[in-house]
């Protein structure tokens, strides 16, 4: 597609996204900027810097247009409970929307730089995730109080909705949910940074994979070396996990805001890294061993019964010592040798 057509299409889709029925539209107004990441990465890969910059500049403009549509639609709902925004809230929403759209779209820059230099898949992911985490971390540090107020308002909304629907639900279940929400509200500082990192890490993996597919199929370019299934965290990272586990025991005994903030957020971030490694190992096994559909279904059932996230995180962590990919390669070779011997 010609560049002007691509720019216009992305602008229109991003702006019109907010016309869709969406109860969280105020929070997701800049989400369509995710559509810009792969085109920005591709243009950056081929060193077309002006076009990449043009798309990044278009992302906040499109998000602001969508923001305007959202704000314009609010007074016309005719509902006494409709959202009414003050001038200060609108200004804050505009600023936050613009900043978020730029950060999201600019994620394509480190991805394109890495693929253009022929880096490995894992190195591209690490560089891009580190870049966006640094930017988002700085943003959270500067806007920590405002960010906490947003989370507190969301928690208050959930509590209000639960209390409103309590008559139609089991009271014991409602009380447990309320207790969980209150606990999260008291300890949210210990999760938000780690969760942000986990989300952007997963998004980065997805965008690097999509960019690699586009480069290889559309432009016959090799793109990054390897694929998601080959990605492996460095072995030294396990020492960070060991220190974090020790700090967690200290936190249980003595507590403290600073220690809990670091320990829990690092633990969430590490678990996301090893979870993705577990997913990569699973996909690697599917490719190398080519198991039957029945065996795949059985493995999926086992993962679901044992808890998908902890099971794959456990596999990803112990891959540091077990080197599951090497073991699967040996098993696949043994199977091939056995089959060739039988024939």
Write the pLDDT tens digit of every residue in 272-297.
Answer: 999 999 999 988 988 888 776 767 77
What tokens does 135 get?
Answer: 């930017």
- The Cα–Cα gap between 210 and 59 comes to 19
Decide: 58 and 11 in contact? Cβ < 8 Å. Answer: yes
Angle between helices 192-218 and 257-289 (to 10 degrees): 30
- The Cα–Cα gap between 2 and 28 comes to 28
User: Residue 158: its pLDDT value, please?
Assistant: 74
- The Cα–Cα gap between 16 and 32 comes to 10
- The Cα–Cα gap between 43 and 210 comes to 14
User: Residue 52: its pLDDT value, please?
Assistant: 93
Q: What is the pLDDT of residues 178-197, one digit of tens each?
A: 788 788 777 788 888 888 89
For the chain, the average pLDDT equals: 81
Looking from the CA of 91 toward its CB, the CA atoms found within 13 Å total: 3
- The Cα–Cα gap between 74 and 125 comes to 39
Least confident of 59-63, 75-79, 224-228, 267-271: 75-79
Dihedral Cα 235, 238, 240, 245, nearest 10 deg: 180
| CB crowding 299-332: b at 16 or more within 10 Å, else e | eeeebeeeeeeebbbbbbbebbeeebbeebeeee
Q: Which residues pair with 225 in a beta bridge?
A: 120
Cα dihedral sign, 19-22-27-32? negative
Decide: 303 and 312 in contact? Cβ < 8 Å. Answer: yes
Decide: 215 and 118 in contact? Cβ < 8 Å. Answer: no
- The Cα–Cα gap between 85 and 145 comes to 19
What tokens does 308 get?
Answer: 């998908």
| Verdict on whether the full-model pTM lies above 0.85 | no
What tokens does 76 get?
Answer: 């016309």
Q: What is the pLDDT of residues 15-61, one digit of tens each?
A: 777 665 444 444 444 577 888 999 999 999 999 999 999 999 988 88
């Amino acid at each position: 597609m010609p560049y002007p057509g691509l720019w216009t299409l992305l602008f229109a889709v991003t702006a019109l996204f907010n016309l869709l029925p969406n109860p969280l539209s105020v929070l997701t107004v800049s989400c369509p900027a995710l559509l810009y990441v792969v085109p920005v990465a591709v243009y950056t890969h081929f060193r077309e810097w002006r076009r990449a910059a043009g798309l990044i500049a278009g992302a906040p403009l499109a998000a602001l247009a969508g923001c305007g549509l959202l704000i314009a639609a609010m007074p016309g709902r005719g509902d006494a409970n409709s959202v009414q925004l003050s001038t200060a809230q609108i200004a804050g929403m505009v600023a936050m929307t613009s900043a978020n759209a730029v950060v999201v779209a600019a994620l394509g820059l480190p991805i394109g730089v890495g693929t253009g230099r022929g880096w490995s898949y894992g190195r591209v992911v690490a560089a891009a995730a580190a870049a966006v985490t640094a930017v988002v971390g700085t943003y959270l540090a500067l806007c920590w109080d405002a960010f906490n107020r947003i989370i507190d308002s969301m928690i208050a909304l959930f509590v209000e909705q639960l209390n409103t629907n309590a008559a139609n639900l089991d009271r014991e279940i409602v009380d447990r949910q309320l207790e969980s929400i209150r606990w999260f509200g008291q300890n949210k500082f210990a999760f938000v940074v780690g969760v942000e990192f986990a989300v952007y890490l997963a998004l980065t993996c997805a965008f690097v994979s999509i960019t690699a597919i586009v480069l290889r199929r559309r432009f016959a370019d090799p793109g990054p070396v390897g694929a998601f299934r080959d990605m492996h965290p460095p072995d030294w990272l396990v020492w960070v996990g060991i220190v974090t586990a020790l700090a967690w025991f200290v936190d249980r005994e003595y507590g403290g805001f600073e220690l809990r903030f670091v320990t829990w957020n690092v633990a969430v971030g590490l678990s996301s890294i090893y979870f993705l490694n577990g997913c990569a190992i699973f996909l690697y096994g599917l490719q190398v061993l080519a198991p039957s559909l029945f065996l795949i279904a059985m493995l999926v059932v086992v993962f679901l019964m044992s808890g998908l996230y902890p099971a794959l995180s456990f596999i990803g962590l112990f891959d540091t010592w077990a080197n599951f990919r090497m073991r699967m390669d040996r098993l696949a070779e043994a199977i091939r040798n056995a089959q060739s011997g039988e024939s």
